[in-house]
């Protein structure tokens, strides 16, 4: 097919959109709404994951060092700890710092009576760190435990397991919702376009009788669906951005559990994703209903 033919068929697709403007906008609106719902599900789930990461990062692991270690060995232990890739925010706590932190754990009025006479030597120096990927928590703890000088590991494994399970459940349901909405949007667009094709069935059959090829007849509908999908993607992106910036983000911020993701930093690529998804769903769901009227 030549470029002139493609240009001609695209013009026909545009004219078909304006000729059936209400139906075309209804199709674009249906797909746009589906994209907004999918996008809303995605941004909420991604913010929930950020919140879960924040909760997980506050579950720090404390490595109590062997009391007989020299200063050189303590430094070497820290260097070995840094070589473990799944560890972040490593800090060293001396015996004196451990004593001070212990004193600060009591109320000020009870601090003197409960901690009077305590010496720093009864505490042990330690390294404190956070685990990056909580799914690799057990493997990371195993690697730390093998380091020479590791005497005791203080961890909240039960909390970590609950966090990982919660994330898995949320990811599963989010994936199910997104797949369901994709299927629903495909059939809704297909039904809308089927109505439009039915209204032009005589035109399709005439073109078939005069010798037009199947691809030549289908292309305008394919292009029409492609353009409607692009319109849906643009509309869906801006509606989602408005909803997120003006409603979703302020509500999440009011919860004060975490700082919501900034739309411009975390979701700017959604415009291209919406365009690609909208164009794909629109073009595929528009081309399929024509097949019925090509059999003449």
Give me the pLDDT at residue 242, please: 92
Give me the pLDDT at residue 284, please: 76
Give me the pLDDT at residue 207, please: 74
3-state secondary structure 222-278: HHHHHHHHHHHHHHHHHHHHHHHHHHHHHHHHHHCCCCCCCHHHHCCCHHHHHHHHH
Task: Give residue-wise pLDDT tens across range 159-209.
Answer: 667 777 777 787 788 788 778 877 777 777 667 667 766 766 777 777 777
- Taking Cα atoms as reference points, which of 147, 141, 20, 40 lies closest to residue 86? 141
This prediction's pTM: 0.64
Give me the pLDDT at residue 230, please: 87
3-state secondary structure of 6: helix
Give me the pLDDT at residue 238, please: 92
Give me the pLDDT at residue 239, please: 92
List the chain residues with pLDDT less than 50: none
What are the residue ranges spanned by the domains of the chain?
3-54+162-294, 60-155
The answer to whether the beta carbons of residues 186 and 284 sit under 8 Å apart is yes
Residue 124 DSSP label: -
User: Which tokens is 122 given?
Assistant: 């009864």
Compute the distance between CA of residue 237 and CA of residue 36 in angstroms, rounded to an integer: 7
Q: List CB contacts of 150: < 8 A, sequence separation 6 or more.
A: 63, 64, 65, 66, 77, 144
Q: CATH for 60-155, among 3.40.630.10, 3.40.1210.10, 3.30.70.3040, 3.90.1150.10?
A: 3.30.70.3040
């Amino acid at each position: 097919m030549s470029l002139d033919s493609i240009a001609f068929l695209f013009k026909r697709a545009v004219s078909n959109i304006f000729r059936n403007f209400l139906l075309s906008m209804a199709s674009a609106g249906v797909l746009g709404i589906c994209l907004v719902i999918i996008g809303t599900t995605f941004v909420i789930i991604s913010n929930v994951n950020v919140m879960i990461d924040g909760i997980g990062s506050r579950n720090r692991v404390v490595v109590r060092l062997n009391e007989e270690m020299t200063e050189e060995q303590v430094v070497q232990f820290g260097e070995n700890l840094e070589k473990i890739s799944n560890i972040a925010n490593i800090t060293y706590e001396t015996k004196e710092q451990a004593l001070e932190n212990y004193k600060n754990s009591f109320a000020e009025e009870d601090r003197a009576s409960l901690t009077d006479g305590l010496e720093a030597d009864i505490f042990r120096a330690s390294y404190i760190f956070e685990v990056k990927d909580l799914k690799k928590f057990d493997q990371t703890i195993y690697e730390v435990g093998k380091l020479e000088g590791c005497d005791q590991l203080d961890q909240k494994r039960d909390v970590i397991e609950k966090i990982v399970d919660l994330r898995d459940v949320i990811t599963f349901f989010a994936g199910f919702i997104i797949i369901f909405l994709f299927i629903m949007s495909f059939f809704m667009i297909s039904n809308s376009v089927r109505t439009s094709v039915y209204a032009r069935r005589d035109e399709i059959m005439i073109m078939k009788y005069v010798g037009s090829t199947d691809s030549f007849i289908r292309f305008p509908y394919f292009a029409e669906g492609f353009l409607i999908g692009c319109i849906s993607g643009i509309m869906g992106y801006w509606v989602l951005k408005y909803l997120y910036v003006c409603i979703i983000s302020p509500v999440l911020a009011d919860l004060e559990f975490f700082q919501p993701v900034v739309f411009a930093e975390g979701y700017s690529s959604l415009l291209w994703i919406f365009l690609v998804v909208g164009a794909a769903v629109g073009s595929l769901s528009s081309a399929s209903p024509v097949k019925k009227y090509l059999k003449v």
